[in-house]
Structure 1
Amino acid sequence: MDPAVSAAHGGRVLAGLVLAAGAGRRFGGPKALVRRDGVLLVDQALATLRAAGCQPSLVVLGAQADQVRAAADLGGAVVLDNPSWPTGMGSSLRRGLAALATSRADAVVVLLVDMPGIGAAAVRRVAAGAGPDTLAAASYRPGRPGHPVVLGRAHWPGVAASADGDVGARPYLRRHGDQVRLVPCADVADPADLDRPADLDRLEPGTIEVSS
């Protein structure tokens, strides 16, 4: 691992995980293959994690995984296949956490591929000081957790056990609400998710911050 990256997180290892396995039925196809400002959403999400100092960065693919691999620039990322992707996002989160179990990561930032308005500034803010016991989430309304979410290693088994269907970490965060650090991010991120093509028009043209 780059010593500069480790130093930026107080010597702790912060991983990044992009969930990008869905079929995007309401959108008309996998959102990993959608372009915003000429860049695939999956590439933008990975660039966001790299710019925020997340290493390793993992991406979970499912629907049309071969097409995503062919179209995207996934160099430098750990690419995971989720054969259970039709069951929902929960299986992709479990797949990513299982892969990280053998890593040195102390915590992981979880980012959804269909939320391109969340950039590196929000990731850095939510992940500040993250360690093995961290539970943190961006907040755009008082008392309401949003994305990105940061999960410390100590919580991974519990999160995996509760992630089911189209539900990811939300049930675990709700049960452990007294431990969740909510970080206001409305000034640096747009939490809109893209369900349909028209939703792209709601987002301001974005610039993708890349790591130097």
Structure 2
Amino acid sequence: MSNPRTGIVILAAGESSRLGYPKQIARYKDKTLLQLAIDAANGSKADKRVLVLGAFKDEIKKTFSGASIPNIPNPKWEKGMSSTLVKGLEYLQKIEPVDQVVIMLCDQPFVDSKIIDKLIDAQAKSGKGIVACKYSKTFGVPILFDKKYFTQLLALTGDEGGKSIAQANEEDLELVTFAKGKTDVDTEADLRDLNL
């Protein structure tokens, strides 16, 4: 049996209201947060990837090479994170459908290709339909879903990510420890703490 085809959706459509400017272009070390996410996706063993932009998309597009990753706009980004996830998943399923998808954000600076590959490997070993990262007594993104959950993912609304689906299917959930996954950037203080 061939390996399942894995797609990645990078959700980068939000307006970063707490930061005051697009967090996608906030810098950590010498790269933008978005570039770190693109590098992680591109360096992983996933077969397909897509970046979904929304707020400030024109400004953000100037900060990375458009050729480096397929990117699409979500004109309905104000409807919440779910609309961005749906847009990305629909895109992945259009031409060569994938068997599983990894959902990632662009505000977790420590997510790299290794953790994405760990999710893919954990799925192959465990056979579970959902593989999430575990940190700070909880779990979350990056998170992998088998295609049997795509219908539910496509039905999400508002600011729901896939976590509600994972919580409802804990018997089909595998966790991968990723302590640094708890670090995300929402405010200027978060960014300062990172760069200390």
Global fold match (TM > 0.5): yes
Task: Give how far 1:204 is off.
Answer: 6.0
Q: Structure 1 length normalisation: TM-score?
A: 0.83
Q: Structure 2: how far apart are the matches of 1:74 and 1:182?
A: 33
Is 1:140 paired with 2:132? no
Corresponding residue to 1:98 among 68, 75, 90: 90
Partner SS, residue 183 of structure 1: strand
Q: Is the 8 A contact 2:135 2:177 kept in 1?
A: yes
Deviations 1:36-59 (A, max 9, x none): 122121111010012122231110
Task: Give how far 1:73 is off.
Answer: 2.1
Task: Give how far 1:148 is off.
Answer: 0.8
Q: Structure 2: how far apart are the matches of 1:117 and 1:190?
A: 7
Give the % identical residues: 26
Q: Structure 2 length normalisation: TM-score?
A: 0.89
Q: Is the 8 A contact 1:14 1:130 kept in 2?
A: no
Q: Which residue number corresponds to residue 74 of structure 2?
A: 82
Deviations 1:52-73 (A, max 9, x none): 2223111000001111112222
Q: Which residue number corresponds to residue 23 of structure 1?
A: 15
Q: Structure 1: how far apart are the matches of 2:47 and 2:108?
A: 20
Q: Which residue number corresponds to residue 169 of structure 1?
A: 162
- Uncovered stretches (5+) of structure 1, i.e. residues with no partner: 1-9, 206-212
Q: Is the 8 A contact 1:56 1:78 kept in 2?
A: no
Q: Is the 8 A contact 2:134 2:181 kept in 1?
A: no
Q: Structure 1: how far apart are the matches of 2:3 and 2:171?
A: 26
Task: Report the CA distance shift for 1:164/1:136 in structure 2 as closer, same or farther (over 3 A).
Answer: same
Is 1:108 paired with 2:83? no
Q: Structure 1: how far apart are the matches of 2:195 and 2:5?
A: 32
Q: Which residue number corresponds to residue 192 of structure 2?
A: 201
Q: Is the 8 A contact 1:117 1:203 kept in 2?
A: no
Task: Give how far 1:114 is off.
Answer: 0.9
Corresponding residue to 1:191 among 160, 177, 182: 182
Runs of 4 or more off by more than 4 Å in structure 1? none
Partner SS, residue 60 of structure 2: helix
Corresponding residue to 2:6 among 14, 22, 29: 14
Deviations 1:6-25 (A, max 9, x none): xxxx6322111110000001
Q: Structure 2: how far apart are the matches of 1:123 and 1:85?
A: 25
- Uncovered stretches (5+) of structure 2, i.e. residues with no partner: none
Q: Is the 8 A contact 1:46 1:57 kept in 2?
A: no
Moved more, 27-36 or 121-130: 121-130
Q: Root-mean-square deviation (CA), in Å?
A: 2.0
User: Which one-letter code corresponds to 2:186 in the other structure?
Assistant: D
